[in-house]
Amino acid sequence: MPAIQVLSAAAAALLAASLAPRDADHTLRLLLAMIACTGALALSRWVPLCMQQLRRSRLRRRAGCVPVRAAPGGSLDVLLVRSRKHPAHFIFPAGGVERGEGMADAAARETHEEAGVAGSLGRYLGELVDDKSRTAMFALHVEREDAAFQEVWRERKWYHLGVPGTAAFVQLSSKARAVLSPKQTHQAAFEMLIAHAADIVGEHEKLEQAARSSGGACARKRR
């Protein structure tokens, strides 16, 4: 084997050995194997990608929700909670993912802990990434508001956004956004809400139809 390929393979092996098992996921191991097999040229191409993947894997994993409720006529409301660190601002509920917990389960749990609401988890809205964490965000169609919850000291407040696609929706969204934390991740989550608003309303209508159908079927069985 040419010396340059030996050096390439050695560099890949050292990089692999330096990774903790929890960081060396399947994708990263595959990239390292490619480096070891394809020589110095591949090393120069793949190492930056490997390091990017490594940095991403070391970010804290978080999950949260954009709690919403829809009303007849297609209007939409969004629930925000007051920030603990910056009480002048409101935020979307989110927090760390516990060991062995799925993203969706973590999002629902954190939302109930911080906002005291529960319901049907809707669409995956996207991932918010900053220099410390990556947060998976979901829509949550609120079906229950509890008076007692873990962080009951937080103020929670509904904001009416109106019907997506209308001028009123733009104006009302701006008012809600004005109280939101200026932090990039929260602003990005609000952008996700705006982008998916019409689909979220449609999703809510389907959930209601399914609930009515299920209720009708149960009533027929009781007869």
Q: What is the pLDDT of residues 119-167, one digit of tens each?
A: 999 999 999 998 889 999 999 999 999 999 999 999 999 999 999 999 9
C-alpha–C-alpha distance, residues 103 and 84, integer Å: 23
CA atoms within 13 A on the CB side of 139: 27
Does the global pTM surpass 0.85?
Answer: no
Q: What is the pLDDT of residue 213?
A: 81
Q: What is the pLDDT of residue 44?
A: 59
In the residue annotation, 113 being an active-site residue is answered as yes
How many Cβ atoms sit within 10 Å of the Cβ of residue 109?
Answer: 19
Q: What is the mean pLDDT of each run of 10 residues along the chain (223 residues)?
A: 49 50 56 60 57 62 96 92 94 96 97 97 94 94 95 96 96 95 93 96 89 64 55
Q: What is the pLDDT of residue 214?
A: 73
Are the C-beta atoms of 118 and 149 separated by less than 8 Å?
A: no
C-alpha–C-alpha distance, residues 15 and 7, integer Å: 12
- Given the residues 113, 127, 145, 151, select the one marked as catalytic: 113
Q: What is the pLDDT of residue 30?
A: 62
Q: What is the pLDDT of residue 4?
A: 47
Q: What is the pLDDT of residue 102?
A: 95
